[in-house]
């Protein structure tokens, strides 16, 4: 007969009253940490948004050229909502565009920058006084030897720009110094224009040299494959934009990818901020963890050297909830 199993007595459970009271520790006070500015890497950023409302009827090439140059601040002086693409451009305004476009497209190359004139300089051209709205640009071109006055030492800023003048003014910025040469025979052999004989002598070397640029030719980019050059035909504003959308192999289309500079800098053009559609595209271009940002205001505005049409802005960025974007 087996012995009975002994019962094991467990210690009595302590009553709730017997447990010592636990005093909660005071919450740890942490120092608020401001969210870091989002890291924005340079990436392609193109836009069809524009302040101009009259570009629907022009070619896609011209539309793109205008919007790209607009992003670069070339048209910052235009306060109107119309660009008037089919209107003829005056020589003075083209001089402004030429300098601003060149300096914007070559913004990282000091050796390619046209130095703007300073107020107080003695005017080179008798009809472009210091108070002329395009003085600093026309004077800069004259000082650099890129344009010359007529027999009366006048620039004629209010005269319409002709096709021959367009090439004569721009080509020195497309090729190395001393590379401009050619005559009627070369123009006829290379271009085969039916009106070669009508091309003014002062523009012949530039037009002949432009053909050596191949696909980077300003004539081909602006007017396409043409049989007659029509050297004295006025240039439209859309054609001027096409001509200035590239300098040799450097194009304005590549510059919007630099619109996002090392963070948190942005390229803006005065007097307006970037259009709302472009801001939306900017937000959407950020990596997913950094999408919830909004540009609130721009406390620091600094014009870039040699191009007052572009502003380097350091925006203050604050985090937003997704529903507020």
Instruction: Kindly report the pTM of this predicted structure.
Output: 0.68
| Rounded Cα gap, residues 75 and 83, in angstroms | 9
pLDDT attached to residue 320? 33
pLDDT along the chain (325 residues), means of 10: 51 52 52 40 48 91 92 87 95 97 88 89 95 95 92 94 98 90 95 97 96 95 96 98 92 56 42 49 50 38 46 40 34
| Rounded Cα gap, residues 94 and 168, in angstroms | 12
For 220-248, b/e burial (b = at least 16 CB within 10 A) is ebbbeeeeebbbeebbbbbbbbbbbbbbb
pLDDT attached to residue 240? 98
pLDDT attached to residue 151? 86
| Rounded Cα gap, residues 184 and 204, in angstroms | 7
Q: Is 88 helix (H, G, I), strand (E, B) or coil?
A: strand
pLDDT attached to residue 322? 34
CB distance 208 to 187 below 8 Å: yes
pLDDT attached to residue 298? 39
3-state secondary structure the chain: CCCCCCCCCCCCCCCHHHCCCCCCCCCCCCCCCCCCCCCCCCCCCCCCCCCCCCCCCCCHHHHHHHHHHHHCCCCCCCCCCCCCCCCECEHHHHHHHHHHHHHHHCCCCHHHCCCCCCCCCCCCCCCCCCCCCCHHHHHHHHHCCCCCCCCCCCCCCCCECEHHHHHHHHHHHCCCCCCCCCCHHHHHHHCCCCCHHHCCHHHHHHHHHHHHHHHHCHHHHHHCCCCCCCCCCECEHHHHHHHHCEECCEEHHHHHHHCECCCCCEEECCCCCCCHHHHHHHHHCCCHHHCCEEEEEEEEEEEECCEEEEEEEEEEEEECCHHHC
């Amino acid at each position: 007969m087996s012995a009975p199993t002994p019962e094991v007595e467990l210690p009595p459970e302590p009553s709730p009253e017997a447990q010592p009271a636990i005093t909660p520790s005071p919450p740890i006070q942490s120092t608020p940490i401001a969210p870091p500015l989002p890291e924005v890497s340079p990436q392609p950023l193109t836009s069809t948004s524009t302040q101009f409302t009259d570009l629907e009827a022009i070619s896609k090439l011209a539309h793109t050229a205008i919007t790209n140059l607009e992003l670069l601040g070339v048209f910052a002086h235009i306060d109107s909502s119309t660009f008037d693409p089919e209107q003829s451009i005056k020589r003075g305004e083209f001089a402004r565009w030429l300098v601003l476009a060149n300096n914007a497209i070559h913004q990282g190359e000091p050796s390619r920058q046209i130095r703007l004139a300073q107020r107080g300089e003695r005017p080179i051209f008798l009809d472009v006084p210091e108070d002329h709205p395009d003085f600093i640009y026309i004077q800069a071109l004259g000082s650099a030897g890129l344009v010359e006055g007529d027999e009366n030492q006048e620039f004629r800023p209010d005269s319409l720009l002709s096709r021959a003048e367009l090439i004569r003014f721009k080509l020195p910025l497309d090729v190395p110094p001393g590379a401009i040469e050619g005559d009627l025979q070369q123009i006829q052999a290379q271009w085969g224009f039916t009106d070669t004989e009508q091309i003014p002598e002062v523009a012949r070397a530039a037009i002949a040299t432009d053909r050596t640029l191949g696909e980077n030719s300003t004539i081909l980019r602006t007017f396409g494959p043409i049989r007659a050059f029509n050297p004295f035909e006025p240039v439209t504003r859309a054609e001027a934009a096409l001509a200035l959308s590239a300098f040799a192999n450097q194009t304005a289309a590549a510059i919007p990818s630099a619109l996002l500079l090392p963070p948190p800098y942005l390229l803006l053009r005065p007097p307006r901020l970037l259009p709302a559609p472009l801001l939306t595209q900017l937000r959407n271009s950020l990596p997913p963890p950094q999408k919830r940002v909004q540009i609130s205001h721009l406390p620091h505005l600094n014009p870039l050297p040699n191009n007052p049409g572009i502003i380097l802005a350091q925006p203050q960025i604050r985090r937003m909830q997704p529903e507020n974007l």
